[in-house]
A and B are shown apart, each in its own frame.
Chain A
Amino acid sequence: MSFVELDSLTKRFGEEVAVSSIDLSIEQGEFVTLLGPSGCGKTTTLRCIAGLERPDGGEIRIEGDVVTSVSKGVHLTPEQRNLGMVFQSYAVWPHMTVFDNVAYGLRVRRRGRAEIREKTTKALELVGLGQLAERFATKLSGGQRQRVALARAIVYNPRVVLFDEPLSNLDAKLREQMRVELARLQHDVGITSVYVTHDQAEALVMSDRVVVMNKGVIQQIGDPHTIYSRPANAFVANFIGVANLLEGGLLGRSGETADIEISLGPGRPPLRLKAAGGEGARAGDRVILSVRPEDLSLHVHLPQDASNLIEGQVIDTVYLGNFLDCQVQVGQYEVGVQIDHFEQLAKGQKVYLTFRPDHALCLTE
């Protein structure tokens, strides 16, 4: 039995299905991120766990207690679940001081004065706001408000802390800093966390496991490395980082590699390429070859070892400081390549792309 369990959770808004029968198990102390584009159902899932939305189907259990079950007719209110939540807009109450904001949960729980003072002070020190306890929330910066919201959510030691895109209102620099800080804090406190974001970098940096969602359905669950290097399908491959996706047919498999034939359009000979993956697919199946821009090598002259070779013409190059982003026309496809050596590439120039088979992935549809 896992610490938090979602059983075929479903939520509709009118006709639209926001969350479509998802299953998810979260272990104690784990940091799980729900990742996906806006409207994918990640926030709705989180709000169902919090008790702020009432699901239309399925069950949620925390520590074995049923907190929501449509079939059993159970729906605990948010305050009955003993969770903590950090909101995107921080939702720090402007009519209270920092101290009162953080102490709120303890006061609601009728703790003694001494305990409230001690725990609140400790929580504020933990997030680095010990000096600002008596300040009003309106006098704080965005980053400071976010710390208040965090302290407020963890001070009463809830069973799970839920994060709803907490860093998306911060500027880029601060966001990166808070990312690391938040991950470290979660690790130190060891509190079970469910984190919602649309920022893949955030998900990869912070999480023990990432749950990629799209259109209300879970696309893949895995640790950050697996999600990035072994995406389960084209959506995940393209959402996590950038991937060139070339459609083709599977010719056959040998060991760990798949032979793929990719048609480049009328009047052009098809490409034959090798890639990892493709388990379960049979010869003749439609597959997608996914290869990331940074895994492609660009050559001006025809390379010696000409396996996995793609020929194309330079469309355009974009200078991005530490690397060059080059678009190459390959038949009907525009393939992106990232190169860190700065050759002079002219538009329309013929170039050769190669990649290692184990750096590309054959995805079934």
Chain B
Amino acid sequence: MATEILTRPVEDAPTSRWHSIFTQENIATTLASLLVGAAVILPLFAIILSSFQILDSSGFGTEWGLDNYRSLLKDRVIYGAFVNTLLISSGATLLATFLGVSLAWINARTNCPWRGKLEPFNLIPFFLSPFVGAIAWHNLAAPKVGLLNNLAREILGIKGHLLNVDNIYGVIWVTGIFFTPLVYLFVVGSLRRMDPSLEDSARTTGAGLLRTTLTVTLPLVTPGILSGAIIVFVTSAGEFGVPFKLGAPYGWETLTTQIFTKAVGDDANHYLGAAMSMTLGAITAFFIWIQRRIIAPREYTTVTGKGFRPNLIDLGPWKWAALAYNLAYLFIAVLLPLVCLVIVSLHPVWEGRIIFTDLTFWNYKKTLFFWWPERIVSATNGIVNSFILAFIGASIAMILALVVSYMIHRTKGFGSRLLDFLCVIPIGFPGIVIAMGVLVTYIKTPIYATLWIILLGYITRFFPYGQRNISAVMLAVSEELDQSSRMAGASWLTTLKRVTIPLLKPGIFAGWILLFVIFLRELSISIILYSTGTETLSVGVYYLTNFENEPLTSALSVAQSVVLLLCVYFFRRIAGREALTA
């Protein structure tokens, strides 16, 4: 009753109505949704249009038609790339799911020694660049120059080679071990926080340990496993660096390497590239849709509020096997590649064996000393540009993410649901697809060939990650805290400044560093959008591996990995253990 009396005079006055539309809240949120809408919709729209335009033989004019899509089926190379992409994604998904689930189970539910200390190390590949992983594994297990193959020849005395990663299996191997943490993160939370009485009741009902694990524990985390597997499948399909290093040079093309050649190569054809991007994007978007609409809602809420200690399974002597398994993963995914890169980077030329008399820091000087006249410009440019992009990009993306999260969770109505949907779209498309969209959208504008176009690509593709980080915290912080501030007389902006943002600080910081890391190692967007002078760190690595030699490549790779590892350290310090699962 009281509100009726209060609001009626306000509704009668037309000037007040205008006032109620132009509030701080409405202006900020409308601007944000327009911005997000433009950033997400324009590239997709442009790429769809371009995919139906056919480049004529002169290479200038275009006409409408379906020929681009026909060549996907007719062109043997593109068709092969399509099949390879599916094979690689499936293989990597199987490998990553097996490794991720088993490691999560060991760390969360068994008495494996040192499991708590090993967990952060298990997640390291999540932060490193898979492209660098591929370079490392090439130097470890290429037939001729592979360190492991040379050791095998010298120690075991075998002829030829022991291992060969320069093929589709190598691509699957590196992709699989690098994306293992994605599955791990999807599974470990529900394994760790699962109400122990769900398993206890199976035990007291008469089921043994194995039967309980198979009929209760694993079925309960199956939706999480499936979600993780789908994310790995989609991420692998969109991965450019690994197939570019280990697949394409040896005849194993994928859709991403083909899109790359159509975007920047000598026979560049943006329209055909757009059609391939659409095909890849349709596949990944479809899987993401399945994950979010069909699998995620089926996840069981098995967490109880009660703080029980989780039941740890006593593996007996097998706990040492579990430890060995865990260490083996760390060895192949983290230690071996990094050590190999360091070794290679200290040699003037790499021929597959360590030559102690030749060790030098020359490669680091060439690639890192951006004040040095003899530097390799493409590499040193990348360092400066990547730090600028990562810093500005993460900051802008988090501001956008904050406003967007606020709109989604604190305002109601059609606008918030539309925005929620818009934020999911970039997750459904690989970076290289978004980059193609951004390229064809802005190619005739002044931002083309500047850092700004790369920044736009980064933010468009990755701001949903920051948004999800903030949303997770925002859902945990009661809306009444905001409302109390408004009741106490503070404006929307003051409330945001004094109450909302301070409460969300951990989420904002975690999201910022996560994006900083992602931007520092980003390859597939940068590779499409860069030009001379706007190379990024990963583009620098690409340049070195393509036009220089392996030791120089390794030096820059080591530098990148060290920076990324430092970020991981700060990320854990600031965000804590649980922040990653968001």
Residues in A128-168 with C-beta less than 8 Å from chain B: 138, 149, 152-153, 156, 162, 164
Known A-B contacts A85-B200, A89-B197, A138-B300; the reply to A94 vs B220 at CB < 8 A is: yes
Give the chain B neighbours of A238 by CB distance below 8 A: none
Q: Does B211 contact A (CB under 8 A)?
A: yes
**In this assembly, does B503 line the interface, its C-beta being within 8 Å of a C-beta of chain A?**
no
Could you say which of A52, A88, A95, A164 has the most chain B C-beta atoms within 10 Å of its C-beta?
A95
* Binding-face segment, B134-142, B202-210, B237-245: B202-210
Cβ proximity bits B184-195 to A, threshold 8 Å, 1 near / 0 not: 000000000001
Say yes or no for B360: interface residue by CB 8 A criterion.
Answer: no
B197 touches A88 (CB 8 A): yes
CA distance A91 to B207 in the complex (A): 15
Q: Is B302 an interface residue (CB 8 A)?
A: yes
B412 at the interface (CB under 8 A from A): no
Q: With the chains together, A89 CA to B308 CA distance in Å? A: 11
A-B pair number, CB within 8 angstroms: 78
Contact yes or no, B216 A78, CB < 8 A: no
B198 with A91: CB separation less than 8 A: yes
A138 to B220 CA separation, bound complex (whole angstroms): 12
Interface: B219 (CB within 8 A) = yes
Which residues on the A side are within 8 Å of B23 (C-beta)? Answer: none
Of the candidates A77, A91, A105, A164, the one having the most CB atoms from chain B within 10 angstroms of its own CB is A91
Asked whether any CB of chain B lies closer than 8 Å to the CB of A224, the reply is: no
Residue A82 lies at the interface, judged by CB distance under 8 Å to chain B: yes
Check: B201 CB closer than 8 A to any chain A CB.
yes
B266 CB to nearest A CB, Å: 55
Within the complex, the shortest CB–CB distance from B105 to chain A, in Å, comes to 17
Bound form: Cα–Cα A162–B201 in Å: 11
Contact status B207-A89, CB under 8 Å: no
* B306 adjacent to chain A (CB < 8 Å): yes
Interface residue A114 (Cβ < 8 Å from any Cβ of B): no
Task: Give CA–CA (A162, B311) in the complex, Å.
Answer: 19
Q: How far is the CB of A219 from chain B (nearest CB, A)?
A: 25
**How far apart sit A85 and B203, CA to CA, in the bound complex (Å)?**
10
Cβ-based interface call for A108 (8 A): yes
Decide if B204 touches A78 in the complex (CB within 8 Å). yes
On chain A, the number of residues with a Cβ less than 8 Å from chain B's Cβ atoms is 29
CA A82 – CA B207 in complex, angstroms? 10
Mask, A42-65, CB within 8 Å of B = 1, is 000000001110000000000000
CA distance A162 to B430 in the complex (A): 53
Chain A residues closer than 8 Å to B211, beta-carbon distance: 108
Contact between chains at B206 and A82 (CB < 8 Å): yes
B205 partner residues in chain A, CB cutoff 8 A: 79, 84-85, 104-105, 108, 152-153, 156
Q: Are B306 and A89 in contact (CB under 8 A)?
A: yes
Report whether A87 and B220 are in contact in the complex, using a CB–CB cutoff of 8 Å.
no
Question: Is B203 touching A91 in the complex (CB atoms < 8 A)?
Answer: no
Residues on the A chain within 8 Å of B302, using CB? 94
B26 at the binding interface (Cβ < 8 Å): no
Interface residues of B in 346-394 (CB under 8 A from A): none
Residues 322-340 of chain A, each 1 if its beta carbon lies under 8 Å from chain B, else 0: 0000000000000000000
B220 touching A95, Cβ below 8 Å: yes
Cβ contacts under 8 Å, B301 to chain A? 94
- B484 adjacent to chain A (CB < 8 Å): no
A residues sitting closer than 8 Å to B (CB atoms) are 50-52, 77-79, 81-85, 87-89, 91, 93-95, 104-105, 108-109, 138, 149, 152-153, 156, 162, 164
**A-B contact sample (18 more), CB < 8 A, given A85-B205, A108-B207:** A77-B203, A77-B208, A77-B209, A79-B208, A85-B200, A87-B197, A87-B200, A89-B195, A93-B198, A93-B201, A93-B216, A93-B220, A94-B300, A95-B222, A105-B206, A153-B204, A153-B205, A162-B204
19 contacts between A and B (CB under 8 A): A51-B204, A77-B208, A78-B203, A79-B203, A79-B204, A79-B206, A79-B207, A81-B204, A83-B204, A87-B200, A91-B195, A91-B198, A93-B220, A94-B300, A104-B205, A104-B207, A153-B205, A156-B205, A164-B197
- Give the top 6 A-B pairs by smallest Cβ distance, nearest first: A87-B197, A78-B203, A91-B197, A85-B204, A105-B205, A94-B300
